[in-house]
Amino acid sequence: MTTRNGVQKRALEVAEDNERIRRNAERFAGGLSIRRPDELASLSQAWTIRALDPNAYTGRVDGWHHGRLMVTHSRGDAVTFHRSRAHLGDGNDRHIQICLIKTGKIVTRQRGQESAGRTDSLLTLLLDHEFLSTSSNDMDVLLFHVPRSYFEARGINTATMAASVLDRVPVAEAIRSLVASAISLQRAGDDSLRDYLERSILELLTGLGTLFEEGFELMDKHSVGLRANVLGILEAEYADPGTSAETLAKAVGVSRRQLYRLFEGRNVSVAGMLRERRLDHAELLLRQPGNAPISSIAEASGFSGPDQLSRAMRDRHGRTPREYRAAFRST
């Protein structure tokens, strides 16, 4: 059995990995123009990047990072992205990459599946598996780097997101507008809307994430409806400390065992989804200006008390709530 010390040690390793990812994202915070293939190749970290034309490449990369979301806006000539076995285990493998294409075409292959995305397509990749992607010239794409656990905690089976494509994404322009605002405000040194922009983009991506399951659903319609009801109640009532797997089961008229069967095969249990949502909310409150008491933040997030919040923070980040707040402000 995994000990609490083991869990917290793992959390510290995750925090260190996230810090490396954050530092990598900051390379593009001011925008980076690329004029040669060797300059492009030097950006390789989580994967190997190569220009299709070995003699010429021009492009530009802008980046934005906040909380649990990293965004890269990439424009340029044709390239290949290869995440090989040698790259796995680098911390990025706990994330999903989501590509929103504005112009150009991307063809990708992962886990034996090949997919192609074009204008207004959304293409997803699991970073704990190898993949090979090739883009066309005149590529203009937004790349979102999101923890896999973020989607799992919202009831999304991320196993369906390997080399998957959604065409004609209805909220494509809304997402692009939010990202453009985030990058523009960053250049102006205005941090006032970072939490709002992070939440808004993640909410839109979460809504799109639920669509990937439609072609993979093995449950009957009644069970699918029950699961949707559970997720709706959980989202509305997670901040109530009295909300639990038992109360959710009672609210939809099933037993606790039946409730858990609705989410079989997921990486996060119903109780885990509750805990993750509460912890996400607590993190958001800890990022706010001022020094609200930890006990108030715990209560407002649905935890039974500050000790329960502290244990959850240590399990995720290897830090206490106060340490998390101080570390966030220092960056």
What are the angstrom distances between the C-alpha of 111 and each of 49, 163, 214, 295? 20, 8, 19, 46
Is residue 215 situated within a structural domain? no
At residue 275, φ and ψ (nearest 5 deg) are -65, -45
Is residue 288 situated within a structural domain? yes
- Residues of the chain whose pLDDT is less than 70? 1-15, 17-18, 213-220, 265, 331
Enter the pTM of the model.
0.84
Give pLDDT, residue 216. Answer: 46
Q: Which among 190, 209, 237 is the end of a domain?
A: 190
For 231-242, how does the pLDDT look when each residue is reduced to its tens digit (9 = 90+)?
Answer: 999 999 999 999
For 190-233, how does the pLDDT look when each residue is reduced to its tens digit (9 = 90+)?
Answer: 988 999 999 999 999 999 988 876 544 555 678 888 888 999 99
Helix axes 306-317, 321-330, angle to 10 degrees: 50
Instruction: Report d(CA 302, CA 265) in Å as an integer.
Output: 26
179 and 60 both lie in a single domain: yes
Give pLDDT, residue 202. Answer: 95
- Strands 139-147 and 69-76: what pairing? antiparallel
Instruction: Report d(CA 122, CA 141) in Å as an integer.
Output: 10
What tokens appear for 321 in the block? 């709530």
Give pLDDT, residue 320. Answer: 93
Q: Which among 167, 190, 213 is the end of a domain?
A: 190
251 and 307 both lie in a single domain: yes
Domain count of the chain?
2
152 and 229 both lie in a single domain: no
DSSP state of 204: H
Q: Which among 190, 210, 238 is the end of a domain?
A: 190
185 and 247 both lie in a single domain: no
Is residue 308 situated within a structural domain? yes
Is residue 262 situated within a structural domain? yes
Q: Write the CATH number for 138.
A: 2.60.120.10
252 and 307 both lie in a single domain: yes
Give pLDDT, residue 215. Answer: 47
150 and 262 both lie in a single domain: no
For residue 99, what are the domain limits? 4-190
Residue 259, SS3 per DSSP: helix
150 and 61 both lie in a single domain: yes
40 and 80 both lie in a single domain: yes
Residue 238, SS3 per DSSP: coil
Instruction: Report d(CA 227, CA 131) in Å as an integer.
Output: 32
Nearest to 37 by CA among 9, 19, 57, 23: 57
Give pLDDT, residue 1. Answer: 46
Is residue 214 situated within a structural domain? no
Is residue 148 situated within a structural domain? yes
Q: Residue 166 in contact with residue 122, Cβ under 8 Å?
A: yes
